[in-house]
Amino acid sequence: MELARPGNVLIGGMTCALGGYIVGISEPAYISLSATIISVMSFMAAGNVVNDIVDRNIDSGAHPYRPIPSGRISIEKAKILAAGCWAISVLCMVVSTVLIREENPTWWGVPLIWSLAAVLMATYDLGPQIKGRGISGNISISLLVGAVIIFGAAAVGGIGEILVWLVAATAFFVNLGREIVKDCEDMQSDEGRNTFPMKVGVENARMTAYVLALAGLICAALPYYLSILPLQWLLLQTPALLLVITTNKALVSGEDEKAQKALRKGLLMGLLGFAASVALT
């Protein structure tokens, strides 16, 4: 369970559910969305395990308490766990595709998004290992975060809804900023990697991260200004706006851990703000 990082996996499942919720879930789509949520959670668990397998040498120095470097689980067993999670994810994706195909002509969105996500995950950790190639790795992970929301919408036939894409764009930009800040935080332990902060310098990377996070706030506000959601419910995004905007102070003072955690909280609060806005509409 520790190797799979259940906290992140649970958040991924809830984010997928949000994608379906904001476009509206009809009764026949409940099972399809449920299968998609399980697929996402299994997918993320497999990705987390693979990431720890690949990073075991780095983690032996930077994070020796993690399951593999600490010797609490062997690489062989970790590979079995990853394979099992991948199998569950594929099976649930197929189940969701079959169910939605009977109800909606945009059923192709489910297998398409899953396949693209699988390619992103494979190229991130296995080959060509873009995680160590600067900002491309950050973009890859952030695309996966946004794709989870669209995946949930696709499971209920709502892949074409503009609101879903704006919510996904919000998640993409805020998470991209956070990923860059995390690379600033991990610079000393990132041996063998050529991260974005290493290429452009820590100060420039922090500034870029902040601008990207602000771009996420613009995406978060657009549904309200475009009257997709009632303008008055923009107030529900206040906690997210404050959390993201005030990270500037932490970034200027070099408090990367504090800044990336604030961006994470800001993203979660923003998604909750969208869910509340839809519920009150």
Q: Is residue 12 domain-shared with residue 146, that is, in the same domain?
A: yes
Residue 172 contacts residue 142 (beta carbons within 8 Å): yes
Check residue 190 and give its pLDDT. 60
Last residue of some domain: 117, 132, 159? 159
For the ranges 53-57, 79-83, 187-191, which has the lowest average pLDDT? 187-191
Domain count, the chain: 2
**What's the gap between Cα 230 and its chain centre?**
26
Last residue of some domain: 134, 159, 184? 159
Position 125 pLDDT exceeds 90: no
90 membership: H or E segment, kind and range: helix 75-101
How many other C-beta atoms are found inside a 10 Å radius of the C-beta of residue 15? 24
Sequence-ordered list of residues with C-beta below 8 angstroms from that of 147, at least 6 positions apart, any chain = 113, 116, 117, 120, 168
* Closest by Cα among 205, 182, 144 to 260: 182
Position 191 pLDDT exceeds 80: no
Domain range for 214 is 161-281
Q: Is residue 145 domain-shared with residue 172, that is, in the same domain?
A: no
Check residue 189 and give its pLDDT. 65
Mean pLDDT confidence for 114-143: 82
Q: Is residue 263 domain-shared with residue 188, that is, in the same domain?
A: yes
Token code pair at residue 35: 């299968």
Residues 116-125 as b/e (b if ≥16 CB within 10 A, e otherwise) read ebbebbebbb
Mean pLDDT confidence for 148-163: 93
Provide the pLDDT confidence category of residue 12 given band limits of 50, 70 and 90.
very high
Q: Is residue 106 domain-shared with residue 197, that is, in the same domain?
A: no
